[in-house]
Chain A
Amino acid sequence: MSHERLKPWRTEERQSGPYPERAERDPNLADRALMAWGEVTARSLGHRRRMLEKFCDRVDAAEPEVQPLSDERLKDAAQALRPLFLRHGLRDDLLVRCFALAREGSRRVLGKRHYRVQLMGGRALVEGWLAEMATGEGKTITAGPPAIAAALAGLPVHVVTVNDYLAERDAEIVRPLYELFGLTVGICRHGQKPDERRKAYEADITYGANKEIAFDYLRDRIALGHRRDRAGRAVQAMLRDRFAQPLLLRGLGFAIVDEADSVLVDEARTPLIISAEVEGDDEAATYALALEVASRLTEGQHYERLPARRLIRLTEAGKARVEEDTRLRGGLWGIRRAREELAEQALSALHLFLRGQQYVVAEGKVQIVDEYTGRIAEGRTWERGLHQLIEQKEGVELTGRRETLARITYQRFFRRYLRLSGMTGTGWELAGELRAVYGLPIARIPTNKPSRRQDLGAKLFADMASKWDAVAEAARRVSATGRPVLIGTKSVEASEALSERLAARGLAHTVLNARFDKEEAEIVARAGERGRITVATNMAGRGTDIHLGEGVEELGGLHVIVAEYHDSPRIDRQLIGRGARQGNPGSFEAIVCLQDELFAKFGGGRLGHVARAVPGGGVALLRRVAQWRAEAMNAATRRQTLRSDTETRKQLGFAGAPE
């Protein structure tokens, strides 16, 4: 094995610039297709797993050497690896030693000695792979050893989580381990001041939500402007006689992306945008008129909806009508394209974006709810006037029109890490795409203990009312036995509708959704208690560790009810994965309805009726078809996004290098 390969990066792969990051390469279409196809073939070969197993054997063998060391000597031994890593790269024997030390340290300060599967996962991360580990296998401490190794090798390490809460929680869990080895930990949260952020990034290992880190990177790029070469920047700084705005990050070194499928795939559908408010004149009147005009249009005659694509388009008649209604208004209304675009946006605001589904109104503001995580997407706004139109619709104060300053797609951002790795419970079906886009090979890590999760099947109802009744009834029945129940809904609105039904039955329950995210930790902490009913949106998905209350295990553990299937089976599996963790008992069932969004959009009328007629297997078939269609379309959208991103880069070459 060559020396060069063991280095965390190859020199020629680096982007020239003020800090380490990988130069972008755009694999062409054939390369991507081959990689995706190759990965789909390679993932099942098992050679990666054998390599990981062998590594674990060596760590097991090395463990007795480090066990007698004192805490102080443990730290010294780890620090002694620094020059070796720098000199030899992430060589296997050094990694064995590092992992053995981390395991021993973890046993001492966290009270958790890494299981073999966790070491295997950790080793996969060092290699720059995607480790697929079943939910509840302790991914938090899996990230420890690789983070330590990379930090000792001098790389800025970012542990990327899906949200601030998890960043903080995970960092605090593992912090004693890092500190044992003399490594510093930084946490990057929403709302921190630049100085605090810079400090967080200065730490050896930084925990942060994907959005925060990407935004900070984007801020750095804005600060750099078009002067991105190191020398040029130094000259500039000297001439201006100040280092007023040092950069936030130290570089994009080694990233461990937790819940990689969510971050790298689901969230990658929308680019990150930093915008600044610009003063607009008479915006409110324009938006009010747009909404007024749009509300006068009728579906079918003036506009058509393309529900599967979440798109509204004006028909010729609609265009004429809009022109008629806005004649004499002047300004943008005088320009055909601008007028029609505004009208279409207003129609979308009225008919496609619904409160409680795509957004909530809280603290007098319209806040976007992320479809995949169920959380409020802080700071995200819709583009091109849509946000203001929705604000106008909801009658809250208009935020000023925002002008984009910089934008970047996740695809582009994460590819710039010198070494990218990821962990997830649900990555298998995305293996091809992750390999093609991010160069992430997948390694499936076995579970530590066999699963004791019970599938109680699925029920399909024709209308919403009977579905909610059935859900409430099932919750009552199970909680009566003393088992805790977790009910997963897709939208805030649905969680509230269910809450009403439960209340009507006199069932005590807690609701966890984007509106109550402050109490999240408390709600989750109590969700495993005896007889408790928790209604949650997708928020209670990834990373939520529900500990079973006393005596619950004997009763059969947590029962999860899936009240609506998501577009992606991965999100459903995440919800189901909240129960029966780490060998605990548990069960789940699905109670769904033909009118659910997934089936309405992708179920195709007749198929639904067929599915209802078939006892037992019908729902599964319907679900499979609908989710397959939805995923195929989402995958196409993602491919399109990536392609237009590359195209845009080509097209805008004259405007300088992109963000």
Chain B
Amino acid sequence: MAADAFLSPEWHRVARLKPRLRPHVKIHRHRYRGHTWYVVQDHASGRYHRFSPSAYQLAGMMDGKRTVDELWKALVDQLGDDAPTQTSVVNLLSQLHSADLLQTDVAADPKEMLQRRGKQKRRKLLGRAGNPLAVKFPLWDPDRFLLATLPFVQPLMSKFGALLWLLVVGAGAVLAGMHWPELTANLADRVLTPDGLLMVAIVFPVLKLLHEMGHAYATRAGGGEVHEMGVMLMALAPVPYVDGTASAAFRSKWRRAGVGAAGVIVEAFIAALAMIAWTLLEPGLLRALCFNVMLVAGVSTVIFNLNPLMRLDGYFIACDLLEIPNLGGRANKWWGWIAERRLFGADVEEPSATPWERFWFAVYAPASFAWRMVVLFGIALFVAERFFVIGALVAIAGIVMGLVWPMAKAFWHVGTSPKLQLKRGRAMAITFGGLAAAAFLLAVAPAPLRTTSEGVVWLPEEAIVRAGGDGFIRAVAIAPGSHVGKGMRLVEAEHPELVAQVAVLRTQIEALRARLDSEQFTNRVQAGVTQQEIALKTQELARAEEKLAALEVVSGAEGTFRVPRAEDLPGRYVKRGDVIGFITPESASLVRVVVPQADIELVRDRLGEVEIKLPGRVWEPLSARLVREVPAASDRLPSRALAVEGGGRFASDPASGGEAPRTLQRLFQFDLALPDGLVREAYGSRVFVRFDHGWEPLGAQWWRRGRQLVLARLQL
């Protein structure tokens, strides 16, 4: 039997009923994308229901006098091919009943009603407690307050109000643009201090309260009633909320969107005022307060409230403006249909949708899912960092509600849905085959395992020109910048003491030789002693001469001789080992790369190929060879080029400065040998390095990273 049979086997149950809509409901006519829909407002329950025109036609004919059978026959005569099937009539009546909109001449099944009531209650309770990221506590019925105060607010909701708003917000935006650098400089420092956080904690609820009042007044001004206001715990942070569902009945989509936007409009206005105040005030507490107001009202509004991917203001505004009510729910249904139809080949009727709607369904569902996952894990990690147990529970609950439960429902659907009855085999095969394939890819199929890092072109030790001994530089023998060969004399230095010492020693040796000559034949014993002494002095002399020779620095490598500030050199006193200059070779041969602690195990134990890429020629990877490792971790970078300020990827402590900035994490250093003659980049340029560790299934790789992330963040 088709899911939507023309003749319903249950017709006998309903045929003789004389139904009518309950008298208290109000029907509003809306237009969405050129289609007419009817929104039924139930004043008793405060709920809203949307009907298609054909459903409305039937509902409109129900007068409590004609039976369902008569109504249906009349519709068949009237509409012909477009007439609803018996099944859909039964469905409609059932929907009306479950929305408590239907009244018939027969007492409804009490058991069914009790069951439904229990279910609703459970659902409400679950809705409150089940989502630990958003627990609602209704506190207050603000309707009377709103009515009483509306006259004071009403003038602002006018052309004048709009003009004022534009003016203030425009001014605020211009000022923000002008003061952008001051506003953003050192942001983290200013906010994440205890003072800053306290201020945010004070400002945030006040702003959000004003935000919600914006919604409430906008609803009230449009004639909707607002009966619930309270506090919602969003990720354990208390946030006020207001129930503005009455706006669903507004006919104009702009008015409906207006209610959704009211909160943001209020916040933007306040942010602009704060901006203006900030520019006028002297530094102090008040100015800091203004800054925080801007921060909260501006940033949180843009990231959360206006984001249509979350079920907040932005979503409802988007629904209204796109004229696609219930976008999220219908997008999910539409994707479900895609799966059933295209993937499983089941003969399922497409959910009614225009091409325009279909486009948004196709885009919205995946985007919102991805965003939800990001937020879910983000919040969970964020909370877990502070309160580990609560955070872990929140994370688990969030994962169960957001991922496991929908998936379980999807599998249950595949396994039991009557719609798939004829294609169950295929549906199961595809679903579980797909799962198995994914599991295989994750757990078994090897994927390349790589880590990347950055390094700098480094010089070999012999290319560094160092002073051979303590002394005063006399002259630079070869003009800096010229090409030098190996063994060429580069710098001459002198050390007067040393020269004197050599002369003294030579004289002493002369004297001793003379003594030896005289003693040789008279006193053999004494001659032996003198001989020893000569040998000693000769050695001393040799050493002194060596030192003297070392004062002349000789090139250890071939390349261009570079001396920073060469003109200052002559006459300068240098100590042995001081760097005087460099000889930069035609091609670099060494790269010093830093590896973060997380990757060190892989680099040490599972190293295969090493590839480097030069910033100028990233499309030409070069293979390199690991030659040396600094065995201990250090918090110093070898070069500024690797720090974030230098364009690198390692965050460093800005206060540390110097040639070797201090990093926030521990790093290991490795030296890589480059192939000869290929790298012409200068000493100190940054290069990208990729370590290849062979193959490992993606699942194992993600597991390692996930564990590192969790362990590192949670300090377990």
The answer, yes or no, to whether B66 is at the interface (CB within 8 Å) is no
User: Are the CB atoms of B6 and A335 closer together than 8 Å?
Assistant: yes
User: Are the CB atoms of A657 and B6 closer together than 8 Å?
Assistant: no
**Which residues of A are found within 8 Å of B115, using beta-carbon distances?**
650
- Which residue among A337, A338, A383, A403 has the maximum number of chain B CB atoms within 10 Å of its CB? A337
Chain B positions 1-25 with a Cβ under 8 Å from a chain A Cβ: 2, 4-7, 9-14, 17, 19
Partner of B107, one of A226, A309, A337: A226
A-B contact pairs, 20 of them (CB 8 A): A335-B83, A337-B5, A404-B11, A407-B9, A640-B418, A649-B112, A650-B112, A650-B115, A651-B94, A652-B90, A653-B94, A653-B97, A653-B108, A653-B109, A654-B19, A654-B96, A655-B13, A655-B17, A657-B109, A658-B109
Binding site for A on B (CB under 8 A): 2, 4-7, 9-14, 17, 19, 76, 80-81, 83, 85, 90-91, 93-94, 96-98, 102, 104, 106-113, 115-116, 347, 418, 421-422
**Which residues of A are found within 8 Å of B11, using beta-carbon distances?**
404
User: Are the CB atoms of B76 and A335 closer together than 8 Å?
Assistant: yes
**Which residues of A are found within 8 Å of B76, using beta-carbon distances?**
335
CB distance from A24 to the nearest CB of B (A): 7
Chain A positions 273-326 with a Cβ under 8 Å from a chain B Cβ: 306, 309, 313
Q: Considering the complex of A and B, which 5 residue pairs feature the smallest CB-CB distances, nearest first?
A: A653-B112, A654-B97, A404-B12, A337-B6, A653-B109
CB distance from A658 to the nearest CB of B (A): 7
The answer, yes or no, to whether A194 is at the interface (CB within 8 Å) is no
The answer, yes or no, to whether A334 is at the interface (CB within 8 Å) is yes
**Which residues of B are found within 8 Å of A407, using beta-carbon distances?**
9, 12
The answer, yes or no, to whether A341 is at the interface (CB within 8 Å) is yes
Q: How far apart sit A337 and B80, CA to CA, in the bound complex (Å)? A: 11
The answer, yes or no, to whether A480 is at the interface (CB within 8 Å) is no
CB distance from B331 to the nearest CB of A (A): 26
Q: How far apart sit A384 and B5, CA to CA, in the bound complex (Å)? A: 10
Having A652-B14, A657-B110, one finds 6 other A-B pairs with CB under 8 Å, namely A24-B111, A337-B85, A405-B12, A407-B12, A651-B10, A655-B13
The answer, yes or no, to whether A192 is at the interface (CB within 8 Å) is no
Q: How far apart sit A313 and B104, CA to CA, in the bound complex (Å)? A: 37
The answer, yes or no, to whether A470 is at the interface (CB within 8 Å) is no
**Chain A, Cβ-Cβ closest to B347:** A313
**Which residues of A are found within 8 Å of B421, using beta-carbon distances?**
640
Chain A positions 628-659 with a Cβ under 8 Å from a chain B Cβ: 640, 644, 648-658
Partner of B109, one of A336, A338, A406, A649: A649
User: Are the CB atoms of A655 and B85 closer together than 8 Å?
Assistant: no
**Which residues of A are found within 8 Å of B104, using beta-carbon distances?**
654-655
**Chain B, Cβ-Cβ closest to A271:** B9
**Chain A, Cβ-Cβ closest to B105:** A226
**Which residues of B are found within 8 Å of A384, using beta-carbon distances?**
5, 7, 9
**Chain A, Cβ-Cβ closest to B96:** A654
Q: How far apart sit A298 and B442, CA to CA, in the bound complex (Å)? A: 49
Instruction: Known contacts A652-B13, A653-B97, A655-B14; decide if A341 and B6 are in contact (CB<8 Å).
Output: yes
**Chain B, Cβ-Cβ closest to A336:** B81
Q: How far apart sit A336 and B6, CA to CA, in the bound complex (Å)? A: 9
Instruction: Known contacts A338-B6, A383-B9; decide if A653 and B116 are in contact (CB<8 Å).
Output: yes
**Which residues of A are found within 8 Å of B5, using beta-carbon distances?**
337, 341, 384
**Which residues of B are found within 8 Å of A655, using beta-carbon distances?**
13-14, 17, 93, 104, 106, 108-109
What are the interface flags for A377-421 relative to B under an 8 Å C-beta threshold, 1 for contact and 0 otherwise?
Answer: 000000110000000000000000001111100000000000000
CB distance from B593 to the nearest CB of A (A): 58
Instruction: Known contacts A335-B81, A337-B4; decide if A654 and B94 are in contact (CB<8 Å).
Output: yes
Q: How far apart sit A651 and B80, CA to CA, in the bound complex (Å)? A: 26
Q: How far apart sit A649 and B94, CA to CA, in the bound complex (Å)? A: 10
User: Are the CB atoms of A654 and B10 closer together than 8 Å?
Assistant: no
What are the interface flags for A177-200 relative to B under an 8 Å C-beta threshold, 1 for contact and 0 otherwise?
Answer: 000000000000000000000000
**Chain B, Cβ-Cβ closest to A274:** B12
**Which residues of B are found within 8 Å of A226, using beta-carbon distances?**
106-107
**Which residues of A are found within 8 Å of B98, using beta-carbon distances?**
653
Partner of A334, one of B80, B93, B110: B80
**Chain B, Cβ-Cβ closest to A226:** B106
Q: How far apart sit A652 and B96, CA to CA, in the bound complex (Å)? A: 11
Q: How far apart sit A306 and B424, CA to CA, in the bound complex (Å)? A: 14
Partner of B106, one of A336, A650, A656: A656
**Which residues of A are found within 8 Å of B106, using beta-carbon distances?**
226, 654-656
User: Are the CB atoms of B94 and A335 closer together than 8 Å?
Assistant: no
Chain A positions 488-506 with a Cβ under 8 Å from a chain B Cβ: none
User: Are the CB atoms of A654 and B102 closer together than 8 Å?
Assistant: yes
Q: How far apart sit A650 and B83, CA to CA, in the bound complex (Å)? A: 25
User: Are the CB atoms of B108 and A656 closer together than 8 Å?
Assistant: yes
Q: How far apart sit A536 and B93, CA to CA, in the bound complex (Å)? A: 50
Q: How far apart sit A648 and B12, CA to CA, in the bound complex (Å)? A: 13
Q: How far apart sit A406 and B421, CA to CA, in the bound complex (Å)? A: 28
CB distance from B428 to the nearest CB of A (A): 13
Q: How far apart sit A406 and B81, CA to CA, in the bound complex (Å)? A: 29
CB distance from B62 to the nearest CB of A (A): 12
**Chain A, Cβ-Cβ closest to B418:** A640
CB distance from B632 to the nearest CB of A (A): 59
What are the interface flags for A425-469 relative to B under an 8 Å C-beta threshold, 1 for contact and 0 otherwise?
Answer: 000000000000000000000000000000000000000000000
Q: How far apart sit A549 and B220, CA to CA, in the bound complex (Å)? A: 94
Q: How far apart sit A24 and B422, CA to CA, in the bound complex (Å)? A: 32
**Chain B, Cβ-Cβ closest to A650:** B112
**Which residues of B are found within 8 Å of A404, using beta-carbon distances?**
9, 11-12
User: Are the CB atoms of B97 and A335 closer together than 8 Å?
Assistant: no
**Chain B, Cβ-Cβ closest to A29:** B416
CB distance from A348 to the nearest CB of B (A): 11
CB distance from A171 to the nearest CB of B (A): 34
**Which residues of B are found within 8 Å of A335, using beta-carbon distances?**
6, 76, 80-81, 83
**Which residues of A are found within 8 Å of B2, using beta-carbon distances?**
341
Q: How far apart sit A383 and B8, CA to CA, in the bound complex (Å)? A: 10
Q: How far apart sit A652 and B98, CA to CA, in the bound complex (Å)? A: 10
**Which residues of A are found within 8 Å of B107, using beta-carbon distances?**
226, 656
User: Are the CB atoms of B109 and A648 closer together than 8 Å?
Assistant: no
Q: How far apart sit A363 and B160, CA to CA, in the bound complex (Å)? A: 90
**Chain B, Cβ-Cβ closest to A406:** B12
CB distance from A125 to the nearest CB of B (A): 29
User: Are the CB atoms of A658 and B80 closer together than 8 Å?
Assistant: no
**Chain B, Cβ-Cβ closest to A24:** B111
- Which residue among A313, A403, A405, A653 has the maximum number of chain B CB atoms within 10 Å of its CB? A653
Q: How far apart sit A404 and B12, CA to CA, in the bound complex (Å)? A: 6
**Which residues of A are found within 8 Å of B90, using beta-carbon distances?**
651-652
Instruction: Known contacts A334-B81, A335-B81, A654-B102; decide if A648 and B108 are in contact (CB<8 Å).
Output: no
Q: How far apart sit A654 and B98, CA to CA, in the bound complex (Å)? A: 8
Q: How far apart sit A177 and B102, CA to CA, in the bound complex (Å)? A: 56
Q: How far apart sit A313 and B107, CA to CA, in the bound complex (Å)? A: 39
Instruction: Known contacts A306-B422, A335-B76, A335-B83; decide if A652 and B111 are in contact (CB<8 Å).
Output: no
Q: How far apart sit A12 and B695, CA to CA, in the bound complex (Å)? A: 67
Q: How far apart sit A24 and B94, CA to CA, in the bound complex (Å)? A: 21
User: Are the CB atoms of A652 and B94 closer together than 8 Å?
Assistant: yes
